[in-house]
Structures are given as structure tokens and as C-alpha cells.
Amino acid sequence: MNQPAAISDIPIETCVTPEQEHGERAVFCGLTSIIWLHRKIQDAFFLVVGSRTCAHLIQSAAGVMIFAEPRFATAVLQERDLAGLADCHEEIDRVVAQVLERRPQLRNLFLVSSCPSEVIKLDLENAAGRLNRQYGGRVRFFDYSGSGIETTFTQGEDSCLSRLVEHMPADDSNEPRLLIAGTLPDIVEDQFLRLFGDLGIGAVDFLPARSLDDLPPVGKQTRVLLAQPYLGQTARALIGRGASLVEAPYPLGAEGTLEWLRAAARTFAVDDDRFERVTAAPLARAQRAVALQRKRLEGKRIAFLPDSQLELPLARFLQRECGASLLEIGTPYFDRQSLAAELELLPAGIRIVEGQALNRQLDRVRAAQPDLTVCGLGIANPLEAEGLRTKWSIELMFSPIQGFEQAGDLAELFCRPLVRNERLAV
């Protein structure tokens, strides 16, 4: 295997075709998304059918444990389940009953499949169907895959939402409605709702909704605006139900948010004056807030290791709004449809690497010596110990970063390791 050239040696070209890399991957699996999904969808329980590893992953990735009894758990497969001594479907029913006994108020339950349950071909769709009949609608059951052999990190949410699309009621009205897909923190959601309201777009739904009782309708009049870049499958499922996709960059940074809103405004024929009027003040605020951070990021060389699938929009924000220069951008997988509008904003000749061969990638990072490397939790400290500055990307999943009011915070998240480095004299 010949060593890829150092990042800085790559000539600037014009086309955006990701390079492919195959090898050892250092990314979480889709189960990880349960950590934010269970907080967003407050009336659902997530039951992973998996192994002790799966339980340990969620617990470790959550980092800070949740005090109350959480709304997720794992049904850990035992030797007797595998040896056929116990009937797995009976076992699922038993464990589900146990969960429901503990939480009699529970209305919705996700059965989440994992690598082990998928390798032994345990059919959770079948189980969900059976349980739905059994509980006669008192509790609703859904299934989706969060396994590491099928999904990468945030893709778990894609898998979950695309399943929910099947359960969304049909909308046969003639009134266009806006559907925002992708988990956003409540506070961000409310900010957007106000903006849409001011723009005169009144019919706005969110997927996931905070309650599964309020699953939004979908139909020919649905205009889907993705709030997260990892929802390719969900987008396709929505299109499959008649919806149309509004192409837009993602609402990260002042520019990203503006263009995202503008795409919606155009779709709903909001006139330009009104759009200017509504967005002017928050846009100016966002720009001011980013400008405050910009001086620290200007000219800084930033590399991304593949992780949350937010890499490209974040890179776009850092480059266009913060003046950073981009080295290699790793991404776990590359979904051209979901990223089309982002690619237009990125500079030509950018180096995108899809997939991962961990050690070769780390070699390239070492050779390039970026000012900041955005990477997963397991790799951050080792790179720091080698004298590199890092931003661990899972924090970006847990903090409100989208929208005008958070643009400054987003920039600040990247500044912090640099500022800290300047301060420390040890």
C-alpha cells in the first residue's frame, strides 16, 4: 500500500469526488444516537436487543450518566438464547413486559437491533408487529437497526426516523406544509418556529416530534427541509410518500442558517423584502458573534477525521465564515444527495476522504500537523499527547449549534482548544 501524500501536497483541483479508503474504522455505531433520541422523543423507550457490549457502548458514550432511570435499556442476549434453549421471541416478550411493568405509563417502545441480533437474524420487525397486536394499541412498538454492521453513529437516527416515516399519517390536503427532519435541541426548534412564523410559514412540523402521538402528516404537499446531514434514508422514505425535498445547506453558521431559511422561504413564496426584514437582525447578531471568534480561527489549518457526518457542513462553516483553511475532511460515508448544496459552497479542490483506514489517516494528520483536528472521543487525547490540538466531535452532537443564535457558540467550540493552548504555560 503506498502512502498517500501529505495533505498539503495535494494540488488544488476542481471536482469534488471523495477518495475511498478501506480499513480499520474508529467510529461509533448507530446505537449511540439513542443518547439524544431518547431525550428528544420523551414518550418513547428504546430497548436494544443486543449484547453487553451494546449496553456498555451506550453507557460509555453517554459519558455523563443520567441520574434518573433512563428511557433506554438493553436486552442482553445470553448463551441460552443462542443455543436455542430459550425462544428469542418469547424472551423479547418477557423483557418487554418487564420494562412495561417498571414503567406502566409507557406508550411507545422502539426495539433496536444490534450486530448480534442481526447476525442471528432475529427479526425485530416481526416482533414489533406481534407486540403491537398483543398490546392492542395501548403501547406502540417500532423497530429499527442501530447495529454497527449497518449503521455509523448518527446514521442510527436516520434508521430510526426512516422507520417512523412509515407510521406518519397521510396528508391529502392541498396546503403545502414544511417538515423539518432531524433532531434539533428544543431551544433551536423554537427559535426556528418563531422565524418561520415571522416569515409567514405557519404550517411547520418536526420529525422527530417531541411526542410520538404527534407524528406529523406527510403527502404530496410536504416540503422536507433537512436539519441534519445524515438523513439520506429518511429523505428517500419521505420522497417515497410523496414529499419533495428542499435542497439547502445545513443551518450551521450565519450563512448556512440564512441559506437554509431562504430555501424554505423560496419554496413557500415568501417575498424577498419580508425575508430580509425577518432575518436581518438575527443574521447581523450571528455575524457579529462569529466575527468575535473569527480572529482566532483565521488561517488555522483544520482537519476532520470521520465521525458524525457533520464534517462537511462544519468544514464549510469554518472555511467560509471563520477563515480557516481546510485540510483533509474525513467522512464515514458520502451521500451526494444530502450534501449537494454544501458541496457548492465548498472551495474547489477540497480533499474529502470517505471511509477510513485509521492508522494511515493518523499518519497523514501527523505529517500535516493541523492547528486543529476534529475527531472522535477515543482519539482526541492521544493526538493531544502528541502535541496536536483537537476538538472532539461528539460534543457537537450534544450542544445546540444550529441556527443564528448559536453561530457564535459553534465558532467558540472550535476556538476553545486553541485559546486554551495559548493560555497554558505547562
Partner 1 sequence: MELTIWTYEGPPHVGAMRVAASLEDSHLLLHAPQGDTYADLLFTMIARNGKRPPVTYTTFQARDLGADTAAIVLQSAREAAERFKPALMLVAESCTAELLQDQPGTLAAGADLEVPVVHVELAAYSRKENWGASETLYHLVRALLNGREDRSERKPADPARRPRVNLLGPTELGFRCRDDVTEITRLLDAAGVDVNLAAPADASVADLLRIPDADANVCLYPEIAQTTCAWLERKFRQPTVRTVPIGVGATRDFLAEVAEATGIEIDIDKIERNCRLPWYSRSVDSTYLTGKRVFIFADATHALAAARIAREELGFEVVGLGTYSREQARGVREAARQHGLEPLITDDYLEVERRIAELQPELVLGTQMERHIAKKLGIGCAVISSPAHVQDFPARYSPQMGYEGANVIFDSWVHPLMMGLEEHLLGMFREDFEFNDEAMPSHLAAVPGEGYARSGQDDTGTAAEGTPAWAQDAERELKKIPFFVRGKARRNTELFASERGVETISVETLYEAKAHFSR
Restricted to residues 148-177, the positions that interact with ligand SF4 (CB under 6 A) are 148
Question: CB of residue 209 vs partner 1: minimum separation in angstroms?
Answer: 17
The reply on whether position 59 binds ligand SF4 by CB under 6 A is: no
Identify the H or E element spanning 75. strand 72-76
Q: How many CB atoms lie within 10 A of CB 260?
A: 25
Take residue 304 and report the three cell numbers written for it.
476532520
Question: CB of residue 41 vs ligand SF4: minimum separation in angstroms?
Answer: 20
Stretch that binds ligand SF4, among 45-53, 132-140, 260-268, 328-336 (CB under 6 A): 45-53
Residues 30-48 as b or e (16 or more Cβ within 10 Å = b):
bbbbbbbbbbbbebbbbbb
Question: CB of residue 343 vs partner 1: minimum separation in angstroms?
Answer: 25
- Backbone φ and ψ for 197, nearest 5 degrees, come out as -60, -50
Contact 300/416 with Cβ under 8 angstroms?
Answer: no
Looking at the Cβ atoms of 12 and 65, the one nearer to partner 1 is 65
Query: What region does 253 belong to: left with phi over 0, alpha with psi -120 to 50, or beta?
Result: left
* Chosen from ligand SF4, partner 1, none, partner binding at 306 (C-beta under 5 to 8 Å by type): none
The reply on whether position 115 binds ligand SF4 by CB under 6 A is: yes
Looking at the Cβ atoms of 106 and 168, the one nearer to partner 1 is 106
The reply on whether position 68 binds ligand SF4 by CB under 6 A is: no
Give the C-alpha separation, 311 to 299, whole Å.
18
* Chosen from partner 1, ligand SF4, none, partner binding at 359 (C-beta under 5 to 8 Å by type): partner 1
The reply on whether position 57 binds ligand SF4 by CB under 6 A is: yes
One residue of 25, 53, 100, 369 binding ligand SF4 per CB under 6 A:
53
One residue of 33, 147, 155, 234 binding ligand SF4 per CB under 6 A:
147
The reply on whether position 33 binds ligand SF4 by CB under 6 A is: no
Looking at the Cβ atoms of 27 and 245, the one nearer to ligand SF4 is 27
Question: CB of residue 261 vs partner 1: minimum separation in angstroms?
Answer: 16
One residue of 7, 16, 27, 29 binding ligand SF4 per CB under 6 A:
29
Question: CB of residue 352 vs partner 1: minimum separation in angstroms?
Answer: 19
One residue of 16, 27, 31, 258 binding ligand SF4 per CB under 6 A:
31
* Chosen from partner 1, ligand SF4, none, partner binding at 209 (C-beta under 5 to 8 Å by type): none
* Chosen from ligand SF4, partner 1, none, partner binding at 88 (C-beta under 5 to 8 Å by type): partner 1
* Chosen from partner 1, ligand SF4, none, partner binding at 412 (C-beta under 5 to 8 Å by type): partner 1
Contact 253/317 with Cβ under 8 angstroms?
Answer: yes
Looking at the Cβ atoms of 119 and 292, the one nearer to ligand SF4 is 119
Stretch that binds ligand SF4, among 52-60, 285-293, 303-311, 405-413 (CB under 6 A): 52-60
Question: CB of residue 94 vs partner 1: minimum separation in angstroms?
Answer: 7
If we measure between CA atoms, which residue out of 321, 283, 280, 279 comes closest to residue 300? 321
Q: Identify the burial level of 425 via C-beta atoms within 10 angstroms of its C-beta, where 0-12 means exposed, 13-18 middle and 19 or more buried.
A: exposed
Q: Which residues contact 240 (CB under 8 A, 6 or more apart)?
A: 165
The SS3 assignment for 252 reads strand
The single-letter DSSP state of residue 170 is: B
The single-letter DSSP state of residue 182 is: S
The reply on whether position 64 binds ligand SF4 by CB under 6 A is: yes
The SS3 assignment for 101 reads helix
Looking at the Cβ atoms of 55 and 401, the one nearer to ligand SF4 is 55
The answer to whether the peptide bond before residue 208 is cis (omega within 30 degrees of 0) is: yes
Q: Which residues contact 14 (CB under 8 A, 6 or more apart)?
A: 348, 349
Looking at the Cβ atoms of 155 and 406, the one nearer to ligand SF4 is 155
Residue whose CB is nearest to ligand SF4 in the complex, by number: 148
Residues 289-324 as b or e (16 or more Cβ within 10 Å = b):
bbeebbebbeebbbbbbbbbbbbbbbbbbbbbbbeb
The reply on whether position 47 binds ligand SF4 by CB under 6 A is: no
The reply on whether position 27 binds ligand SF4 by CB under 6 A is: no
Give the full edge-to-edge strand order of the sheet including 222-226. 204-207, 177-181, 222-226, 244-245
* Chosen from ligand SF4, partner 1, none, partner binding at 159 (C-beta under 5 to 8 Å by type): none
**Which residues make up the interface to ligand SF4 (CB under 6 A)?**
29, 31, 50-51, 53-54, 57, 64-65, 114-116, 147-148
